Amino acid sequence: MLLTIVATIFVFGIIVFIHEFGHFITAKASGMRVDEFAIGFGPALVKIQKGETLYSIRAIPLGGYNKIAGMDPEEPLDDRSFLNKPVWKRFIVISAGAIFNFLLAIVIFFIVYASYGVQTPSKEPVVGNMMSNSPAAMAHMQVNDRIMSINGKPVTEWLDISKQLQGTANTVVPIVISRDGQQQELSVIPTQTGNEGRAVIGINPVSIVQEYSISESAIRAVQTTGVVLVSMVDGLWSMITGTTSAELAGPIGVAQMAGQMAENGFMYLLQFTALLSLNLGVINLLPIPALDGGHLIVLLIEGITRRRLPVKALQYIQMTGVIILLLLFVYATTHDISRL
C-alpha cells in the first residue's frame, strides 16, 4: 500500500510538474506575469513567494496549475496580461504543456536505454519476477524456478505456460518446477484476467538485456516516443469511431498500475511514467473545452477571424468542457472501483 502511494505521487508529481513547467517557462519567456505556480490541488502545504510568483505544493497530488495574469477576460488587463499578448505567443504557452510532456517521455526513454538497455523476454520457461500476492507467490514459487509441467502437460518454452493454463482459472493446478536441480510440485490456483478470461498466475519471464551507447539511446528514445504517440492516437481514434471498446482508467486505476510497476522495479516505473506523460500530452490536445486542445481551437478561431469570442460564449464553452471532463472522471472512476 505504501509503495503504491509513493509510486503514484512520484508518477503524477513528475508529469504534472513538467506539464505545468512548460506553461510556466513559456509564459515567462513571452513576457506574461505568472501569479502562482502550483503542484497539486487543495490546501497549500508549502508556499514560497519569489518575486512576483507564488510557488506552492498542495495537498492533493493529482494535478497542478499556473495562474497566469489576464487569462480571465473579466479581470483587469495590462501589457503583461495573457489576453493582451499576440495570438502566436498565447498558442505557444498553451501548447507547451503537452510538448513538455512529449519531451519528458524522450528524456525518460533515453535514461532507461542508456542505464538499463533494452530488456527482451527470454523464451525459456524460467520465472523472472512475480507480482506480490499473485497465485504463484501464494504457492511459494520463486524467481529462477524453471517450470517443467502444468497439470501434467510438459512445458518446454514460455509460450507453453499460457497454453497449459488455459481453462484452469479458479481451480487447483499442479505445477512441477525445478529449483536448484531438484524437482517439486506446487499447487497453484490461477486467476482470470481480461475480457477473454485468460488464466494467469502472475509471473514474468527472465529478461535478456541489450545495451546501447549514448547516441544509440538518444535515437532509440526519439523513435520509441514517435511509435508510442502514433499508437496512442490510432487507439484513441479507434475508440472514438467505435472500432474498439473504450478502456478508461481514472486516478484509482492509474495508482494501481503505478504500484504494480514499482513492485517490478524502478525501470518499469520510469517507463510507465513516460507512457503516462505521453498519454497526458495527447489527451490535453484533444479539442475539448477546458483542455489545452479546446483552448488552442479558440485561439485558432481568433487568429483567423481577428476577433475574440464573446465572454459569454467562452464561459459556456468552458462550462461544457468541465461537464464533459466530470462525466469522464465519474465513468473512469466507476470502472476503477468495479475492477477492484
Query: Range with the lowest mean pLDDT among 2-6, 64-68, 150-154, 185-189?
Result: 2-6
Q: Are residues 26 and 96 in the same domain?
A: yes
Task: State pLDDT tens for residues 25-43.
Answer: 999 999 999 999 998 888 8
The whole-number pLDDT of residue 247 equals 62
Model confidence at 340, pLDDT cuts 50, 70, 90, reads low
Mean pLDDT on 234-240: 79
The whole-number pLDDT of residue 331 equals 59
CATH of residue 140:
2.30.42.10
The rounded distance, in Å, linking the Cα atoms of 60 and 20 is 15
In a domain, 249, yes or no: no
Task: Note whether 316 and 294 are within 8 A (CB).
Answer: no
In a domain, 233, yes or no: no
Amino acid at 162: S
Task: State pLDDT tens for residues 183-217.
Answer: 999 999 999 876 566 889 999 999 888 889 999 99
What's the CA angle centered on 169, arms 167 and 170, to 5 degrees? 140
Among 20, 124, 211, 247, the one annotated catalytic: 20
Task: Note whether 57 and 45 are within 8 A (CB).
Answer: yes
Q: Are residues 48 and 152 in the same domain?
A: no
Sign of CA dihedral 284, 286, 287, 288: negative
Model confidence at 96, pLDDT cuts 50, 70, 90, reads very high
Of 82, 86, 101, nearest in space to 19 by CA: 101
Q: Are residues 277 and 292 in the same domain?
A: yes
Helix (H) or strand (E) holding 28: helix 2-29
Q: Are residues 90 and 7 in the same domain?
A: yes
Quote the percentage of the chain above a pLDDT of 90.
Answer: 46
**What is this structure's pTM?**
0.75
Mean pLDDT on 307-324: 72
Grid cell of 29 as nine digits: 519567456
The whole-number pLDDT of residue 328 equals 65
Domain final position from 208, 240, 270: 208
Of 183, 179, 189, nearest in space to 142 by CA: 179
Q: How crowded is residue 41: how many other Cβ atoms within 10 Å of its Cβ?
A: 13
In a domain, 52, yes or no: yes
Model confidence at 48, pLDDT cuts 50, 70, 90, reads very high
What's the CA angle centered on 200, arms 198 and 203, to 5 degrees? 145
Nearby residues of 79 by Cβ (< 8 Å), 6 or more positions away: none
Output the furthest CA–CA distance in the chain (Å, rounded). Answer: 79
Q: Are residues 178 and 281 in the same domain?
A: no
Find where cell 483542455 sits.
291
Task: Note whether 11 and 279 are within 8 A (CB).
Answer: no
The rounded distance, in Å, linking the Cα atoms of 168 and 150 is 10
| 335 pLDDT above the threshold of 60 | no
| 336 pLDDT above the threshold of 60 | no
- Kindly report the average pLDDT of the chain as a whole number: 86
Q: Hey, is 45 helix, strand or coil? A: strand
The whole-number pLDDT of residue 249 equals 65
In a domain, 216, yes or no: no
The rounded distance, in Å, linking the Cα atoms of 267 and 154 is 33
Task: Note whether 299 and 91 are within 8 A (CB).
Answer: yes
Domain final position from 208, 223, 246: 208
Mean pLDDT on 54-73: 85
In a domain, 135, yes or no: yes
In a domain, 246, yes or no: no
Q: Are residues 94 and 139 in the same domain?
A: no
Task: Note whether 242 and 330 are within 8 A (CB).
Answer: no
As for how many domains the chain has, the answer is: 2
Q: Hey, is 288 helix, strand or coil? A: coil
Task: State pLDDT tens for residues 245-254.
Answer: 656 666 677 7
Find where cell 479581470 sits.
75
Grid cell of 286 as nine digits: 484533444
Note down the domain range covering 263.
2-116+258-339
In a domain, 42, yes or no: yes
Q: Are residues 140 and 98 in the same domain?
A: no
Model confidence at 62, pLDDT cuts 50, 70, 90, reads confident
The whole-number pLDDT of residue 195 equals 56
Q: Are residues 79 and 167 in the same domain?
A: no
The whole-number pLDDT of residue 20 equals 92
Model confidence at 291, pLDDT cuts 50, 70, 90, reads confident
Domain final position from 208, 230, 250: 208
Segments in 65-213 forming alpha helices (H): 87-116, 135-138, 158-165
In a domain, 239, yes or no: no
Q: Catalytic: 185?
A: no
Q: Are residues 164 and 204 in the same domain?
A: yes
Q: Are residues 167 and 104 in the same domain?
A: no
Model confidence at 330, pLDDT cuts 50, 70, 90, reads low
Model confidence at 332, pLDDT cuts 50, 70, 90, reads low
Quote the percentage of the chain above a pLDDT of 70.
Answer: 89
Amino acid at 2: L
The rounded distance, in Å, linking the Cα atoms of 10 and 108 is 14
